[in-house]
Structure 1
C-alpha cells in the first residue's frame, strides 16, 4: 500500500508539472499572439483580463463541483477542457482564421476549470502523503517545487518556441502538456480510500454548498485576510506577468526569448528555495518567515524592471524573488489535512 501511494504521489506531481508547464506556455504565447496579429497594449490587456476572470470564477464556483464529482475526475476534466480549448486556437488561426473575440472566448473556456484542476491535485496530496508515510510539509513542498519546475521548463521552452516558430505554433506544445497530464492521472494516480468526494457531508445542492463555503470564509478572520492578500497580490502579479512583461519584452528586450530566461530564472530559484526550505520548514516560525519571504517574492523582481536595468539585473532580481517565493509557499503549508473541503476552492492562488 505504501509503495502504491508513493507511486501515486509521484504520478500526481508529474501530472501537475505537465499541466502547469502547459499554463506557462499559454501565458507566454497568448500575448505574443495578440501582438503578432496587429494588436496593441489595449488588446493584450483585454486578453489578460479575460484569462484572469475564469481563474477568479473557477475558484469558488468550481470548488463545489470538485467536491461533487471527485478530485481525480476533476483534475482529468480540467486538463481535457483546457487542452481542447488551447488546441483550437492554433488550429483555427492557421486554417479558417480566428478573430480577436474568438481568441478571447477560447482563452476564457480554457482557464475556467484550471483553478479547480489545481485545487483537486493539491487536495489529494494530504491523503496520499499519509498513506505513503511522507511528511505533509515535504509533500506540499514537492507540489510547490513541481509548480516552480514547470516555470523553469516552460518559460525558456515558450520563449524558444515563440521565437522560432511563432506564438500559435507554440500552443501545440501546451495542448500536448495537458493531454499527457490527463493520461498520467488516469493511469497512475490512485484515489485513496475514504470519503474524498464529500459523501460524508450533508448535501445542500450546488448553490447551498457554495453558500456554506462563503459563510465559512466570511466568519473566519484568518481566511478573510488570506483571501484579501491573495486577491491583491494576484491582481498585481497578473497585470505584471500577463500584460506588462510581454509588452516590455517586445519593446525593450527584443522579444519572447529574453523574457523566457528571466521567468525561468525565477522558476528555477523558486524550485531551489522550495526544496532547501523543506528541510527546515518545521523548525522555523511560519508567520515571520512567510511575511518576510512574501515581501521579497515581489519586491526585487519589480524594482529592477521599474528602474529599466539591463537583462543581467533583471535575472538577478528574479532569482532573489524566486528563492523567497519558494520558501514562502513552504512556510504557509497546512499542518494537517483536516478542515472543511467546501472552502478548498475559495482560497486559491492563481
Structure 2
C-alpha cells in the first residue's frame, strides 16, 4: 500500500530538519578537530549562517517559477552534496580553514529552500487528501520541530559511536531520503506547470510579487512583524541569556532539561493548534500566545529553582507551539495558493535577517545587564508590543478570509 502524501511530507520535514540541525553540531566539531580553534569554529558557523541572507529573499521567487516539489527535492540534494564534500575533501586534498568555510557556506545558502518549499506544499497536500488544514499545519510543524530536536542529539551520539566522517555520511543519507520522500509525493501539479522560463528576471518578479502581497495585507503584515520580533528575541533567550545564567551556576545539565522541556512543549502546542483555533479568533490566539510567552519570560526573571525552571520551559513551549502553525494557516487562507512560495520566502528571509541581530544585541546587553533584569524587560516588551499591535493596530482585523493581496499573478506554484 502506497504511503499517504501527508505522511511523506511529514517524513521529509523530519529528515530535512534533522539534517540541517545535525550539521550545526558536526561542522563546528570538524573545525575544532581540524584547526583546534574555537574562534574559527564560531566564524565558520556564523558566516555560513549569515550567507542565508543573500539567498533567502529570492527563495520564494524560485519556488514560484520552478514549483515547490522540484525546489524541495533539489535543495535537499544540494545539501547532501555539501555535507558529503567534507569527508571527501578531508580524504583527498585535506581540509583547512578556507575549505571548511567555503563548503559550509555552499551548504547553508540552499538550506532554507527545502523548508520553505515543503511549507508551500502543505495546502495542496491537505486539500488532495481532504485533511483539516488546521490539524495538518500543526502536525507538519511538530514534525519539523521533532527533526530539529533529534538532529543535534543524533549527531553528537554518532560522532562518539562511529566517528566524524561516518556521521557526515549518515547526515548525507538523511538529506537524500528527504529528497526521495518528496519525489514520491503525488499531488495535482497543474498549478506547478511552469509558464515562465527559469530566468533571473522572472525569479525577481515573483519575489517582488510576494513582498508586495504581504505589504498590502496589513493585518497579515502585523502578524509577520510580531513573529519576526519573536524570532529575534526568543532564540537568543535560549542561546545567550539562559546559557549565561546556568554557566555562572555551573549547571549545564539544568539548561539541557529546560531546553528539552521547551521543545516538548512546542511539539505539544503545535499538535493542539487545530483545537485551540476552533475556540479562539486569530487575533485572540496571537495575543494569547505572544503575551503568554512574555508572562513566562517574566516569571523566569525570578530565577526560580531548577524544577520550577523546567516547568516554565514547558509552559513557554506550550504557548509558543501554536505560533508557527497559525502563521502558516493565515498565509494559506489569506493569500492565493500560487503565491505561497513567495510569501513564505519573504517571511523566512525576515526572520533569518533579524535573528543574528537579536543574538548580537542580547549578547552585548547581557555583558552589562543582569540576567533577571534582561528577562524582565524582554517579557514586558513582548506583552506591551503584542497588546499594542493586537488591540490598536490592523491585526485586530486578522481573519481567515482572503486578504487584500491582489490578484493571482502567476500559475507556477
Q: Same fold (TM over 0.5)?
A: yes
Equivalent in the alignment of 1:153? 150
Offset of residue 245 of structure 1 = 8.4
CA contact (8 A) 1:89 1:103 kept: yes
User: Which whole-Å deviations, capped at 9, do the CAs of 1:297-345 have from their partners, x for residues lacking one?
Assistant: 58858986996976x6665444232222222223332262742343331
Offset of residue 258 of structure 1 = 8.3
User: Which whole-Å deviations, capped at 9, do the CAs of 1:135-176 have from their partners, x for residues lacking one?
Assistant: 111111111111122134324323323455565653333212
Q: What is the CA RMSD across the aligned residues, in angstroms?
A: 3.8
Equivalent in the alignment of 2:286? 290
CA contact (8 A) 1:48 1:242 kept: no
Work out whether 1:39 is the aligned partner of 2:31: no
Moved more, 75-84 or 234-243: 234-243
Q: Distance in 2 between matches of 1:176 and 1:260?
A: 28
Equivalent in the alignment of 2:117? 120
Equivalent in the alignment of 1:212? 209
Moved more, 68-77 or 244-253: 244-253
Equivalent in the alignment of 2:322? 327
CA contact (8 A) 2:135 2:273 kept: no
Moved more, 107-116 or 204-213: 204-213
Q: Distance in 2 between matches of 1:259 and 1:32?
A: 21
Q: Secondary structure at the match of 1:336?
A: helix
CA contact (8 A) 1:29 1:168 kept: no
Larger radius of gyration: 2
User: Which whole-Å deviations, capped at 9, do the CAs of 1:7-50 have from their partners, x for residues lacking one?
Assistant: 1111111111111111121123333444444223x434433332
Work out whether 1:273 is the aligned partner of 2:265: no
Q: Distance in 2 between matches of 1:319 and 1:33?
A: 33
Aligned in 2, Cα 1:318/1:11: closer, same or farther, shift over 3 Å?
Answer: same
Aligned in 2, Cα 1:193/1:331: closer, same or farther, shift over 3 Å?
Answer: closer
Q: Distance in 1 between matches of 2:155 and 2:52?
A: 21
Q: Distance in 2 between matches of 1:43 and 1:307?
A: 33
Q: Distance in 2 between matches of 1:225 and 1:115?
A: 23
Total equivalences in the alignment: 342
Q: Secondary structure at the match of 1:192?
A: coil
Q: Distance in 2 between matches of 1:160 and 1:228?
A: 38
Equivalent in the alignment of 1:55? 52
Equivalent in the alignment of 1:140? 137
Q: Distance in 2 between matches of 1:170 and 1:296?
A: 39
Moved more, 23-32 or 212-221: 212-221
How do 1:245-256 residues align onto structure 2 when only pairs under 5 Å count?
none
How do 1:95-134 residues align onto structure 2 when only pairs under 5 Å count?
96-134=93-131
User: Which whole-Å deviations, capped at 9, do the CAs of 1:55-74 have from their partners, x for residues lacking one?
Assistant: 33333212111111111110
User: Which whole-Å deviations, capped at 9, do the CAs of 1:74-129 have from their partners, x for residues lacking one?
Assistant: 00001000111012123334654322232222222212222221121111111121
Offset of residue 52 of structure 1 = 2.5
CA contact (8 A) 1:141 1:330 kept: yes
Q: Distance in 2 between matches of 1:224 and 1:43?
A: 38
Equivalent in the alignment of 1:347? 347
Aligned in 2, Cα 1:183/1:331: closer, same or farther, shift over 3 Å?
Answer: closer
CA contact (8 A) 1:8 1:190 kept: yes
Equivalent in the alignment of 1:67? 64
Moved more, 245-254 or 323-332: 245-254
Q: Distance in 2 between matches of 1:90 and 1:297?
A: 42
User: Which whole-Å deviations, capped at 9, do the CAs of 1:268-301 have from their partners, x for residues lacking one?
Assistant: 3321222233323222132232234245558858
Q: Distance in 1 between matches of 2:160 and 2:296?
A: 27
Q: Distance in 1 between matches of 2:137 and 2:295?
A: 24
Work out whether 1:12 is the aligned partner of 2:5: no
Moved more, 203-212 or 235-244: 235-244
Q: Which runs of 5+ in 2 are unaligned?
A: 353-413
Q: Which runs of 5+ in 1 are unaligned?
A: none
Offset of residue 133 of structure 1 = 0.9
Offset of residue 254 of structure 1 = 9.3
Moved more, 42-51 or 298-307: 298-307
